[in-house]
Amino acid sequence: MLGLMQDRPLVLPHIFHRAEQLFGRKEIVTATADGEQRITIAEWAQRVRRLATALDRLGISADGRVATFCWNTAAHLELYLAAPCTGRVLHTLNIRLFPDQLTYIANHAEDEIVFVDRSLLPLLWPLTDKMDTVRHYVVIDDGADVDIPDDPRILDYDQLLAESEPFAGQFIVEDENTAAAMCYTSGTTGNPKGVVYSHRSTVLHSLISLIADGAALSERDVVLPIVPMFHANAWGLPYGCLLAGSTIVFPGPNMTPKAVLELLASHQVTVTGGVPTIWMGALPMLGDYDLSHLRVLLCGGSAVPKSLSEAYREKLGVPLLHAWGMTETSPIATMSTRRSQHDELTEEQRANVRAKQGQPVPLVELRLVDPDTGDELPWDDVHTGEIQAAGPWIAKEYYRGEGGGSQYTEDGWLRTGDVAAADEYGFVRLVDRTKDLVKSGGEWISSVELENEIMAHPKIAEAAVIAIPHERWVERPMACVVLKPGESLTAEEVLEHLKPRVAKWWLPDAVEFIDEVPKTSVGKFSKKTLRDKFAGYKLPGADA
């Protein structure tokens, strides 16, 4: 027997029409080079409607890929809705990728048009001759003092909207499984691979920002998404805000910790989200701002050091809300919200829970699998294995079958490449990425755990641990340490600090002091760059 409920598709037009109908007076603020732009949702929605017509006028195919090369701005949010609501596919290009990767991605996705912030034009323009399928470049004027080349392919965004009538009526996307957006993974190995989100996956994932055991977005919130909209859809926050009716503050091009702190204070922001690097950078300046309105600081993308989260709890009364996921998981898969069982714990024990990546959010299923035997492992906080994920917003394959399906199991789960243990409540503790683990004498050493312990030292700003080949042990850990300004420390002192905290055989064989840990396109520690930098490095006693 079938249920007798309406079969309404889960599509982005619902998010658009809901925001337009219910929250027209709410504001979207965008920080610009010389101030702020304010626009109401009603005005913004009219611009989305004009943009929809403009895409038709420009002859963009029915399912054409509409690329963006933009900061977090209200205009970017216009594209977030106009492209999918007209059946096209939003393709957010990561502005921090290398030129070769960008042209590869644009050609692979067959982008027809690229919307680019004027401030970013100098990055994009030299690549355009290699972008074979792009017919138009639409420049969004963000006030940057940048020359615009005289080229027939270039259009002005505001002029394009002014010349286009607003689309009237309801946007309709009949099939909820239609592609809505695509994002390429940064491709630490091989070429970047395209993850294609559907309307259904996006709508369901957007709801996760609203759950109480998460960021609990509501109409009363003022939200500052720092995590870029060009990477994994800013963790779903922009769509979540529209669904909830929250006021949105976009940081625009200036994402320095100081600029972010100023926005948090001046707009009395209640919810924000960004990678740990941002919060590490902001920490020394916290005392200069009134951040008393903040209630959620969402943090993920790489492991959140316990010491960092605790520093926020001590200074602001709000720890970092740890979340884990990846481009392939839309990205939110787990969140570390406190459960009633944790009430009985000491603050120190709770800090350990907060340092975990958290429990799977509703509709996401996880399992831990022994990489050697393929057996499922118990959730006892001891056994570690690869996390595999399944759920309505988890990818089932890559665009055009790239990667040969090796990242997906026969029964349709995603192999995340992350190694973790899970406790009895399903709280995941990420140990490492499979490729970053240090394999020492047949046993694994978690580089993430070592880094966390090193970063707990008050004089240390950042630390990254990499594996160095070793004749006897196969690999041994080497710690790259960045000191806080004005501090000094010896390698021995770093090791002394670690001794009571980790097993003896985990102690790094060498400690190198560096000026900065190199970062990836999305601000994570780039272990690959470090491994390249220290290729051929000789550990003391390595030849023994």
Catalytic residue numbers read: 185, 328, 439, 444
Which of 12, 20, 397 is CA-nearest to residue 174?
12
Nearer to ligand ADP, 199 or 429 (CB): 429
Least spacing, CB of residue 97 vs ligand ADP, in Å: 10
Separation CA 176–CA 201 (nearest Å): 8
For the chain, the farthest-separated pair of C-alpha atoms sits apart, in whole angstroms, at 76
The closest of 209, 213, 216 to 237, measured between CA atoms, is: 209
Residue 322 in contact with ligand ADP, rule: CB under 6 A: yes
The CA-atom distances, in angstroms, between 228 and each of 164, 181, 218, 436, 522 are 28, 15, 21, 25, 8
Show the beta-strand stretches assigned E in 295-360. 296-300, 320-325, 332-335, 359-360
CA 429 to chain centre: 19
In this chain, which stretch among 48-56, 398-406, 416-424, 495-503 interacts with ligand ADP, using CB under 6 A?
Answer: 416-424
Helix (H) or strand (E) holding 422: strand 414-422
| Cβ 407 to ligand ADP shortest distance, Å | 11
Token pair 């957007």 is found at 206
Q: Does 272 bind ligand ADP (CB under 6 A)?
A: no
CB of 389 to ligand ADP, least distance (A): 10
Length, in residues, of the chain: 544
Contact residue for ligand ADP among 30, 73, 302, 359 (CB under 6 A): 302
Choose which of 128, 185, 206, 407 interacts with ligand ADP (CB under 6 A): 185
**The binder of ligand ADP chosen from 95, 522, 530, 539 (CB under 6 A):** 522
| Binding flag, residue 430, ligand ADP (CB under 6 A) | yes
Least distance (Å) between residue 302 CB and ligand ADP: 5
Of 66, 453, 425, 26, the C-alpha closest to 241 is 26
Q: 257 or 301, CB closer to ligand ADP?
A: 301
Rounded to the nearest whole angstrom, what is the least distance from the CB of residue 495 to ligand ADP in the complex? 25
Nearer to ligand ADP, 13 or 194 (CB): 194
Number of residues that bind ligand ADP (CB under 6 A): 21
The pair of structure tokens assigned to 276 is 């740990």
Question: What residues form DSSP beta bridges with 271?
Answer: 223, 296
Q: For the segment 200-239, give every residue that binds ligand ADP (CB under 6 A).
A: 232
Closer by beta carbon to ligand ADP, 46 or else 94: 94
Strand 428-433 with 414-422, pairing? antiparallel
DSSP 300: E
Whole-angstrom Cα distance, residue 278 to residue 540? 35
Q: Write the binding mask 330 to 369 for ligand ADP: x where contact by CB under 6 A, - elsewhere.
A: -x-------------------------x------------
Write out the residues near ligand ADP by the rule CB under 6 A.
185-186, 232, 300-303, 322-327, 331, 357, 416-418, 430, 433, 522
